[in-house]
Structure 1
Amino acid sequence: MTFPSPHLSRRQMLAASAAVVVAFSAASCTQAESPTPVPTPAGPAPTPSDPWRPLAHLTAEKNWLNDPNGLVYHDGTYHAFYQYNPQGNSWGNMSWGHSTSKDLVHWEQQPVAMEASPDEEIFSGCIVMDKNNASGLGSAETPPMVALYTSAYGKNGALPQGSQAQSVAFSLDNGTTWQKYQGNPVLNLAPTNNNFRDPKITWYEPGRYWVMATVVADAQVVKLFKSTDLLRWEYLSDFSGVGAQGGLWEVPELLHMDVEDSTAKKWVMLLSINPGGIAGGSGMQYFVGEFDGRRFTAENAAAPGAPLTESQWLDHGADYYAANSISGAPGDKPVLLGWMGNWDYAQDVPTTPWRGSMAIPRELTLVRGAKRLELRSAIAGAARETLDRSGEVKSKNLTVGSSPQDLGQEFRGRTQLIELDMDLKSAREAGVLLRHSSSASETGLRISYNKETGSVRVDRSQAGTSNFSGKFSPFHEVALPSPGNKVHLTILLDSSSVEVFAAGGTAVISDTFFPDWDNTGSSAFSMEGDTDFTVTTRGL
């Protein structure tokens, strides 16, 4: 969970936090005391008056949304809690919003789960099902959902104003209502710290205890703790001194994963950084290594100060941040939900009355790369099954030379799942142009592969409105591990976002963009030679 301007000094950040507290309205306090909040309806589909709202991604019906928090699957329902401002369309009044889904594509917004007060804002955290009631907060018949979250204290909080510590809340009705634990905070540093946040819990089976990963964000340190009851926490170790160091470290998570096609298992540390990401501003790096129950040790990790290309990145686009796994999700692979935003410009994007969306949920696989173990991302199984059932499949085979070729009416949807195969016979570069106008096919979202550099690029510089921020970077690219003449891309296009999966998901680019409503043209292009295309789309 970041403050809105991560480039500020600590003193400026504290002043910003205090200003947020002062700005609470009487209406906010009244809403927080309401015993029976009225559910907010699910967000509407995109329309000409709301042209950029995604159709297949989680958004709030109105107001600001950022980092996903308590992500949990229980009794056939996916719960996504997230940083939310009930009072406006910019960062502030940090509370936990709540949405639910059966399929990870269609989401229904629920009442605000925990609302901020002048004494305490509800920053990022996680949820686990305490099935054996180890916390004692429920019963054997009604085990509790337990949330660990960061308390950001205001003027009259339990700790000095501006300080952050970890607290507990619990629900006995499947996440509908929440009670705060009377012994909060359950974990604090001495002396108190203003950037101690983002608890995420992993069960460590050999020791039969939970491990919590947290950060001291401005010191680039992950701190690990353990507990058998989710209430009393014992310090284990620190993780620091490797990887990208250019900004705040946030939203850490330890995952225990199988290595594909092997009996081996490894531990993976996910870690967001802001600024200092590979695409500028916000980004997500990861480390693969060992965890012995006390200490995580990264293997083959980039040294601090090394070029960013030496670090391992979960996504090479500008808009993928703070992703963490859904506790209890079906299957044997971690399923992540991430925020589709970048703190360089997130508060300036021109959407209204909502601002902020989540990326499509993804499942992770740990694979052996040429030099080290790597993570591979794919659209999560439940989401992919839903998308595959959502529309009629249309396919086209064509050879493109020096003149771009229109892909036709079937490829004019604002939301599409596209499978793209290209064989660059004699061409240097080839790709597709999406969401371009009928009169100017050179504009639009340009997705291409260059066989000379072996890289995939997403260019949004001519894809629509971009004058809202000078930091809205024009393009992002990633080099493929095994370049050649042929490439396969999976592209999820959704109103104002695109997610491109290449090299079997080991190379991903996620970006937002803001096209005109009427710009729905799609075409294929080839540079300096011929390219064979096979393009399949499923309109959603």
Structure 2
Amino acid sequence: MNKATFLSLAFAALTGGLFAQEKPAATPTPQWRPVYHFTPPTNWTNDPNGLIFLNGQFNLYYQHNPFENKWGHMSWGHATSKDLVTWKHLPVAIPEVVGKDTTTWIYSGSAVLDKNNTSGFGKNGKAPIVAIFTADQPKQKKESQFIAYSNDGGLSYKQYAHNPVIDLNMKDFRDPNVFWHEPTKQWIMTVAMVDEHMVRIYGSKNLKKWTKLSDFGPAGYTKNGWECPSLVPLVVDNNPAKIKWVLFVSSGGDHGPLMQYYVGDFNGTTFKNDNPADKVLTVDYGDAFYAAIPWRDAPQNKKILLGWLQNGKQETNPWKGQMSIPHDLSVKTTSEGLRLKQSPSTIVSGSLAKYAKGTLSKTNLTLENTLQLSPPGHFDGNSNWIDAVIKLNGAKKVGFTVAEKKGTAKKVLVGYDVEKQILYVDCTGAESANKSTENQIQTAPMKAVNGEIKIQVLIDKSSLEVFGNDGEKVISTMIYPDKDATGLSAFSEGKSAIKTLKVWDLNRR
């Protein structure tokens, strides 16, 4: 991904054009280091890359600067996990290539297990892992698609001797995402034609020679360039016999990052969008979620989306950038048509009891005004997970207050506005220094169901992710509370009732 282009377009309003000139913070910021989200031990990270499940482990490659806590020297960092919570950090898997006349940065892409050794890269009867990525050559102002292969389980990669495998002599042409399409017995690649607002689809029998199959776009949001496309088959209404294809595309939004999606059908050659070309469907309504791609091969045939959560204006040290909570994906039939459903992965939520210091469980609580949820010594470290079902009754607003500093107005509200029918995150009391005016309040349209709403609030030191009505809507953002701003409570304007409430205290580090 060409972050210089993206930052200049997408973050101009957010950062005042100064993002590229930021310097690493001199002071460590452990109070903002996430507990149950991925961060590298040190230095910069952005897009997740090469997501592949292998030998019982989730492999995460990621855009990484091995030398500095700022964007540059793009390489593929590497980590593995068995439960998507605890990560083993490994050496850089694909480093930048510095030559006499050409420097090649390793931009975003994907990785596949070539089970049948279609590429011929395998040795001794073992299937190789093949990485497909964008090679950016800054001096030549050129992006093309390279491949590299691994015969040691993905720990290290050797560049293909005849790279590039696709070269259109373009400045902005990036982020290949590859999968095997069984009905047509070929590898499929989606790659971004950035300024054309198109996704180009290629096919290959061997991962080396690629043939153009079709183009999709322009469609949906086209004010800024397109990046990080991925095309994924998803189950509809929990019925494995019914499948729809969803195409994800990232682009710089009006006030920060935007991810959009399209629902339709894929026949091995073309993707057909079910909705009108001007329809914009939003993956996340916050100001931080971007460049997400899926694990396609997770256990139980799950498709699990992982995104980059962007810092915005605030510096962290000795790392910068983190990944989102992994999202389980499906498609749901709604009154508006087929829509994406995404919820915190059950692989993660199933591990909460293992990692939690303590839990709070309540049922049938009458809620009026404020209910304190963080007694001294409990749930007071800004690393918590809340699941709640709330009966709205006569309330105007209901929700939770997080990262509250006692005796001050500093707090973040996560709530539901009954009259406006919106899920919202209100940071006006705490994040004015870190967010533009337009991003102080972030909202997503959402209707109550039988007078109730379901809400999940995931706060993890500096990240805040909110899932409404079983993943019907999602708002992800970054916050930077003071060290002593750790209050946690429920609120209601008017009388409501918490039907069920469970809070996990995950402040274990």
**With structure 2 as the length reference, what TM-score do the two structures score?**
0.90
Change (3 A) 1:539 1:7: closer
| Aligned-partner Cα distance in 2 for 1:335–1:7 | 26
Please list, as runs of the form range in 1=range in 2, the aligned pairs for 1:144-163 lying within 5 A after superposition. Answer: 144-155=128-139, 161-163=140-142
Match of 1:317 in 2: 286
CA shift for structure 1 position 446: 0.5
| Aligned-partner Cα distance in 2 for 1:471–1:200 | 35
AA partner of residue 269 (structure 1):
L
AA partner of residue 383 (structure 1):
V
Look up the SS of the partner of 1:56 in the other structure: coil
Kept in 1, the 8 Å contact 2:410–2:485? The answer is no
2:146 to 167, 187, 209: 167
Kept in 2, the 8 Å contact 1:248–1:275? The answer is no
Q: Deviations over 1:126-179 (max 9, x none)?
A: 000011111001135221110001000143xxxxx0100000011111111111
| Aligned-partner Cα distance in 1 for 2:93–2:420 | 48
Match of 1:493 in 2: 459
Q: Deviations over 1:257-299 (max 9, x none)?
A: 22225432221111111134xxx22111110111121111101
Kept in 2, the 8 Å contact 1:321–1:339? The answer is yes
1:134 to 97, 101, 118: 118
Look up the SS of the partner of 1:104 in the other structure: coil
1:429 to 397, 412, 415: 397
After alignment, is 388-397 or 315-324 more displaced? 388-397
Q: Deviations over 1:51-91 (max 9, x none)?
A: 10000011011111000011111001111001111121111
Change (3 A) 1:358 1:8: closer
Kept in 2, the 8 Å contact 1:127–1:327? The answer is no
Q: Deviations over 1:368-393 (max 9, x none)?
A: 11121111111112212112432232
| Aligned-partner Cα distance in 2 for 1:539–1:125 | 35
Aligned length, in residue pairs = 481
Kept in 1, the 8 Å contact 2:28–2:316? The answer is no
Match of 1:184 in 2: 163
Kept in 2, the 8 Å contact 1:350–1:468? The answer is no
Match of 1:457 in 2: 424
| Aligned-partner Cα distance in 1 for 2:238–2:67 | 49
1:361 to 308, 326, 331: 326
Change (3 A) 1:400 1:328: closer
Kept in 1, the 8 Å contact 2:196–2:218? The answer is no
Please list, as runs of the form range in 1=range in 2, the aligned pairs for 1:57-68 lying within 5 A after superposition. Answer: 57-68=37-48
| Aligned-partner Cα distance in 2 for 1:472–1:354 | 27
Q: Deviations over 1:17-71 (max 9, x none)?
A: xxx9xxxxxxxxxxxxxxxxxxxxxxxxxx9951100000110111110000111
Match of 1:293 in 2: 268
* 1:510 equivalent in alignment to 2:476: yes
Match of 1:374 in 2: 339
Change (3 A) 1:103 1:247: same
**With structure 1 as the length reference, what TM-score do the two structures score?**
0.85
Runs of 5+ unmatched residues, structure 2: 10-19, 21-26
Match of 1:42 in 2: none
Look up the SS of the partner of 1:51 in the other structure: helix
Change (3 A) 1:381 1:7: closer
Match of 1:34 in 2: none
| Aligned-partner Cα distance in 2 for 1:206–1:49 | 50
* 1:6 equivalent in alignment to 2:39: no
| Aligned-partner Cα distance in 2 for 1:258–1:400 | 37
Please list, as runs of the form range in 1=range in 2, the aligned pairs for 1:55-454 lying within 5 A after superposition. Answer: 55-118=35-98, 119-139=103-123, 141-155=125-139, 161-189=140-168, 192-262=169-239, 263-276=241-254, 280-303=255-278, 310-341=279-310, 345=312, 348-391=313-356, 392-396=358-362, 398-401=365-368, 403-409=369-375, 410-440=378-408, 442-454=409-421
Match of 1:26 in 2: none
Kept in 1, the 8 Å contact 2:197–2:219? The answer is no
AA partner of residue 382 (structure 1):
I
AA partner of residue 426 (structure 2):
D
CA shift for structure 1 position 509: 0.8
**Percent identity between the two aligned chains:** 35
CA shift for structure 1 position 395: 2.1
Kept in 1, the 8 Å contact 2:328–2:345? The answer is yes
Look up the SS of the partner of 1:206 in the other structure: helix
| Aligned-partner Cα distance in 2 for 1:302–1:216 | 17
Change (3 A) 1:289 1:439: same
Kept in 2, the 8 Å contact 1:120–1:153? The answer is yes
Runs of 5+ unmatched residues, structure 1: 10-19, 21-46, 156-160, 304-309
AA partner of residue 147 (structure 1):
A
| Aligned-partner Cα distance in 2 for 1:469–1:218 | 28
After alignment, is 133-142 or 259-268 more displaced? 259-268
AA partner of residue 415 (structure 1):
S
Kept in 2, the 8 Å contact 1:449–1:456? The answer is yes
Look up the SS of the partner of 1:73 in the other structure: strand
| Aligned-partner Cα distance in 1 for 2:236–2:340 | 10
Look up the SS of the partner of 1:247 in the other structure: coil
| Aligned-partner Cα distance in 2 for 1:77–1:522 | 34
Q: Deviations over 1:288-329 (max 9, x none)?
A: 1111211111011451xxxxxx52111111111111111422
Kept in 2, the 8 Å contact 1:84–1:96? The answer is yes
User: Quick check: which one's strand share is greater?
Assistant: 2
Kept in 2, the 8 Å contact 1:7–1:275? The answer is no
Say what the alpha-carbon RMSD is for the aligned residues: 2.1
Change (3 A) 1:463 1:485: farther
CA shift for structure 1 position 484: 5.9
Change (3 A) 1:60 1:49: same
Q: Deviations over 1:471-519 (max 9, x none)?
A: 7821211111445632110111111111111122111111110001111
Kept in 2, the 8 Å contact 1:301–1:311? The answer is no
